[in-house]
A and B are shown apart, each in its own frame.
Chain A
Amino acid sequence: MAGIVLYNYELDENCYKVRLALSMLGLKWEPIAVNAFPGNEQTTPPFLAMNPLGTLPILKDGDLTLFGAEAILAHLARANDAAGKWLPAEGADFAGVMQWLVFSAGALAVAGEARRNSLFDTPGDGEALQASAGKLLRIMDDHMIARGYEGLDWFAAGHPTIADIALFPAFALSRDFGIDHDEYAGLRRWGRRVRSLPGFVTMPGIPDYY
């Protein structure tokens, strides 16, 4: 199939990362709805053939099939943003984007676990997951407080990058797993700036009021 196809579940925060990127990059795409809850369709053989990890999102772009939200963001940015703003090609900006993408896909995945535990009752110790997720949001907040001293509004560069897109859902959806925004002034400020970007879209759990 030609064009971009996203195997999508509306309530999945990783799918939301990709929807945000597609919208901010102004791309045309088609969703294919996946019954992730309660169906767990993404763990059935046709999906495992595309992503053996059994997770969403999965993206098809022409002949390419990709899984993992951060890899998908990097691909979409490289393929569609000739100016290299969303994914800077080199230097400290590139390094910063890589650091925060890895943070997002690695350590911060616990925020997704905390959220799924709270919303869908997936296995896990809810309180421990919430505490771990809170600590990671705090690391992000500390970073953005320090960035503010340099007059910088974004995680990795002097302008928004795919790192900001990848990190946004964990903060914006934190109330789903019982963490309020009260104690994260640096992230509140950043979150308002993300919301004001052209192409910003919400998802269930993120109020649309701007």
Chain B
Amino acid sequence: MTTAGVWHPVALSASIEPGSSAGTHIDGKEFVVWRDNSGAPHVWEDRCPHRGMKLSFGFVRGDHIACLYHGWQYDTAGQCRYIPAHPELDVPGSIRVPVFQTVEAAGMIWVATEPTESAPPAPQEAGETVSVRSVFFGAAIDAVLAAIETTPSRPFSDEAAASVLRQIDGRLYALTVGNDRLLLGLHSLSGERTALHVVIAGPAARYAGKGQAHFLAWTAELRHRIETQPAAAVAA
């Protein structure tokens, strides 16, 4: 069973430091991605139950995320635990943020947007990874995949080699160039905006620094191509 439509990559693991949060979208819906101080990632609806403000504007304190606006704090299960205006209040269990099953795989944070019980396992990819970056395009996933096929990366470890794009599972792809292998997470922000999360499958000893910079240059080329070519030409 494919995991497409269930598991979505939302960020590089390295981009969400412990004690920090960021907002994102999946197919137009708003999510907050945050990591508590113990290092566990969380992906929730980006909406504070109090007045609906974005939780991604808030801040992490220990294993709570606090809303910027009136300071309501939520624990890692999404349950509101503290309301500054009523510090003595035992907060009712009904004040709760919708949370989604979240895992880390292939150097990325993945979220299941379907109910937890029916979700197939998340994409798997064993082995060490080295982050490159998340890059953003004003184009749908199909156009981005097409551009990846027509804008091959040069290998880092060899002179020249063909590049082969293959779907591993759902939104996880592998791009093999010579002896190098990139893992690509395709993230549909909306019908016309896509994030590509790029990591190198391989040891930091080999790729940290120059190898990362090498593939960063490829993401810039890809972005340039998508932004400067008419959509039809990219898809052709």
Given contacts A142-B220, A207-B68, A209-B59, contact A188 B213 (CB under 8 A): no
Q: Interface digits, A137-180 against B, CB 8 Å rule (1 contact, 0 not)?
A: 00000100110011000000000000000000000000100001
Verify B24–A146 contact, CB threshold 8 A. no
Verify A189–B17 contact, CB threshold 8 A. yes
Verify B212–A182 contact, CB threshold 8 A. no
Instruction: Flag whether A85 is at the interface (Cβ < 8 A).
Output: no
**Distance of A142 Cα from B195 Cα, bound (Å):** 15
**Total contacting residues, chain B, CB less than 8 A:** 25
Chain B neighbourhood of A188, CB < 8 A: 15, 20, 22
Name the residue in B23, B25, B133, B216 with the highest tally of chain A Cβ atoms < 10 Å from its Cβ: B133
Cβ < 8 Å to A, chain B residues 1-59: 11-12, 15, 17, 20, 22-25, 56-59
Instruction: Flag whether B146 is at the interface (Cβ < 8 A).
Output: no
Chain B neighbourhood of A189, CB < 8 A: 15, 17
Name the residue in A145, A149, A185, A209 with the highest tally of chain B Cβ atoms < 10 Å from its Cβ: A149
Given contacts A146-B213, A181-B23, contact A209 B68 (CB under 8 A): yes
Closest to B213 in A: A149
**Distance of A146 Cα from B22 Cα, bound (Å):** 20
Chain B neighbourhood of A120, CB < 8 A: none
**How distant is B66 from chain A, measured CB to nearest CB, in Å?**
8
Verify A185–B22 contact, CB threshold 8 A. yes
- Is chain A's interface secondary structure helix, strand, loop, or mixed overall? helix
Closest to A188 in B: B22
**How distant is A189 from chain B, measured CB to nearest CB, in Å?**
7
Verify B209–A149 contact, CB threshold 8 A. yes
Chain B neighbourhood of A181, CB < 8 A: 22-23
**Distance of A145 Cα from B212 Cα, bound (Å):** 10
**Distance of A207 Cα from B57 Cα, bound (Å):** 9
**Distance of A188 Cα from B21 Cα, bound (Å):** 9
Instruction: Flag whether B208 is at the interface (Cβ < 8 A).
Output: yes
Chain B neighbourhood of A180, CB < 8 A: 23
Chain A neighbourhood of B11, CB < 8 A: 185
**How distant is B182 from chain A, measured CB to nearest CB, in Å?**
15
Chain B neighbourhood of A28, CB < 8 A: none
Residue pairs across A and B with Cβ atoms less than 8 A apart, 24 shown, are A142-B216, A149-B213, A150-B209, A180-B23, A181-B22, A182-B22, A182-B23, A182-B25, A183-B134, A183-B195, A185-B11, A185-B12, A185-B15, A185-B22, A185-B134, A186-B133, A188-B22, A189-B15, A192-B17, A207-B68, A209-B59, A209-B66, A209-B68, A210-B59
B positions within 8 Å CB-CB of A:
11-12, 15, 17, 20, 22-25, 56-59, 66, 68, 133-134, 136, 195, 208-209, 212-213, 216, 220
Q: With contacts A185-B133, A209-B59 known, what are 11 further pairs, Cβ within 8 A?
A: A142-B216, A149-B208, A149-B209, A180-B23, A182-B23, A182-B25, A183-B195, A185-B15, A186-B133, A207-B68, A209-B68
